[in-house]
């Protein structure tokens, strides 16, 4: 019989939302100031940026900091929170790398690709620390996908996100 750990799913979803939302919020807080991109503006031989302008050092650092803090507040080991954020951002940066290779612009939409690597990587690799089984991972990744689909347009309408996705 398959069982769910709703508490574990909640924790995983909370960490995903924090890690992914922190860079959006920090960009809004810092306003129009130019933020240092992680790829330092470098282009590859295909003519596209390595990651793009939207993957910045302040965004990465805010994800690491706030996800670790939220992990602590919810009784999750600090290192688990830190590594969760690191793995989430690694998945996000990998997605940006792939999207640049496909010729897509910064902040362009690639349904599924935008959420799966950044959710599955930390959920899978930290499943033991978070008490997640395969079904919990699938449910959490699915819920995160739905959050991105339905909450992002709302955040765009209230001027928190720059894109409706």
| Span 91-148, pLDDT tens digits | 999 999 988 888 877 666 667 677 899 999 999 999 999 999 999 999 999 999 998 8
User: Exposed (0-12), middle (13-18) or buried (19+): which is 18, by Cβ within 10 Å?
Assistant: buried
Residue 119 near residue 97 (C-beta atoms within 8 A)? no
Mean pLDDT of 16-38: 89
Per-residue confidence (pLDDT) for residue 104, from 0 to 100: 75
Confidence of residue 152 (pLDDT cuts 50, 70, 90): confident
Q: For 125, left (φ over 0), alpha (ψ -120 to 50), or beta?
A: alpha
164 part of a folded domain: no
Does the pLDDT value for residue 73 go beyond 90?
A: yes
pTM of the model: 0.89
Per-residue confidence (pLDDT) for residue 163, from 0 to 100: 67
Residues 6+ apart with CB under 8 A from 103: 48
162 part of a folded domain: no
CA–CA distance, 128 with 91 (Å, rounded to integer):
19
Per-residue confidence (pLDDT) for residue 164, from 0 to 100: 63
* Tally of structural domains, the chain: 1
Residue 87 near residue 20 (C-beta atoms within 8 A)? no
Mean pLDDT of 21-41: 88
Q: What is the CA radius of gyration of the chain?
A: 16
Percent of the chain with pLDDT over 70: 90
54 part of a folded domain: yes
| Two tokens, residue 67 | 């996800």
The residue range of the domain holding 95 is: 6-157
Phi, psi of 88 (to 5 degrees): -65, -45
């Amino acid at each position: 019989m398959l069982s769910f750990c709703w508490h574990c799913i909640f924790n995983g979803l909370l960490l995903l939302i924090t890690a992914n939302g922190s860079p959006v919020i920090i960009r809004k807080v810092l306003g129009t100031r130019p933020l240092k991109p992680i790829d330092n503006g470098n282009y590859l031989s295909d003519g596209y940026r390595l990651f793009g302008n939207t993957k910045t050092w302040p965004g990465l650092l805010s994800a690491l900091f706030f996800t670790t803090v939220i992990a602590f507040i919810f009784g999750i080991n600090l290192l688990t929170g830190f590594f969760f954020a690191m793995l989430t951002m690694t998945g996000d940066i990998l997605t940006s790398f792939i999207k640049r290779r496909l010729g897509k612009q910064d902040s362009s939409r690639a349904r599924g690709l935008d959420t799966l690597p950044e959710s599955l990587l930390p959920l899978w690799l930290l499943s033991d620390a978070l008490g997640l089984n395969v079904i919990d991972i699938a449910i959490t990744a699915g819920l995160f996908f739905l959050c991105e689909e339905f909450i992002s347009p709302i955040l765009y309408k209230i001027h928190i996100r720059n894109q409706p996705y």
